[in-house]
Amino acid sequence: MNSILRNQSGAAAVKESGVRNVVLHGLLAAEYKHIVPNLERVTLKAGQQLYRAEQKIEAVYFPEDAVIAMIDKTKDGRTVEVGIIGREGMVGINIFLGGAITADQAIVQIAGRATRMRASVLRTETYFGSPLQQLLLEYARTFLAVISQSVACSQHHSIEQRLSRLLLSLRDYTQAREIPLDQASIAALLGVRRAGVSVAASRLQEQGVLTYRRGVIRVVDGRSLEKKTCECRQFIKAQYAQFQRSVAARSTRSSRDRALPVWKRKTPSGARRPRRGRANP
């Protein structure tokens, strides 16, 4: 982690660290400064595979500006994206849910920074009633809702609608009109043939909504792209917005609580903190 976060403490450290990840931000605001030595800032490359399917999860990732796709792969090699994770979330939620193995691949779609934490540290910190447990329960609920909607989307909505939603989602994360994404990656994410992607992209290009050149898609008319997509776009946005509001409210409550004398603080009922100490790798 960077030196600012190492040497300072409390809310100032969180603010000045530039941590943008919603879960990590909520974590550090909730008196988790002691985990800082266990955090490592990493730069992820596009196409990098963080997890292979059926592999033991060694570390979880809190994306900052990197974007990671969770991809389900069948035995005959067909793939489909079941969830995109950016700064609002955490890659490796199975660890929190008691699993050690990932069912899906995790592949970096947009290069960028993330913070990595050993899975063993996360397990140690998610004891019953802890603020982290509450935070991740809420994230898990949100992510499950997103996955459910993604399944419905892949069954009932057209390639054009799903392509539009994917591009809008990546544009939200990158805050850029140009999205580095080739047709093979789009086909793998949508779980369709490249020919289908080509037809949908060509149609959107003809309508002046986007341009497509050498693995880079430029969104020319975002408003029209919003109209092209399905209702899943708003549903998923609403889920993450609700999660972010909840984390913000939790952080405010936590700060208020810390300002009180110890005997007046509201600790979660039944919370049991295990013996403090760095977890074994």
Cα separation, 165 vs 171, whole angstroms: 10
* Interacting residue with Zn ion among 22, 67, 122, 230 (CB under 5 A): 230
- Tell whether residue 232 is a contact of Zn ion (CB under 5 A): yes
Q: To the nearest whole angstrom, how small is the minimum distance from the Cβ of residue 151 to Zn ion?
A: 10
CB of 219 to Zn ion, least distance (A): 18
Near Zn ion by CB under 5 A, which window of 119-127, 223-231, 245-253, 268-276? 223-231
**Nearest distance from C-beta of residue 231 to Zn ion, angstroms:** 7
- What are the two backbone dihedrals, phi and then psi, of residue 77, each rounded to the nearest 5 degrees? 90, 0
Find the shortest distance in angstroms from Cβ 147 to Zn ion.
Answer: 13
Nearest to 117 by CA among 48, 38, 30: 38
Longest dimension (CA), the chain: 66
The size of the interface with Zn ion (CB under 5 A), counted in residues, is 4
| x/- map, 98-117, Zn ion, by CB under 5 A | --------------------
- Judged by CB under 5 A, the chain residues 150 through 169 that form the site for Zn ion are 153, 157
Which residues, 6+ apart, have CB-to-CB distance to 262 below 8 Å? Answer: none
* CB 208, CB 168: distance < 8 Å: no
**CA–CA distances in Å: residue 184 to residues 9, 47, 189, 192, 193:** 45, 12, 9, 10, 9
Q: Measured from the CB of residue 200, what is the shortest distance to Zn ion in angstroms?
A: 14
Binding of Zn ion by 226 (CB under 5 A): no
Which residues are at the interface with Zn ion (CB under 5 A)?
153, 157, 230, 232
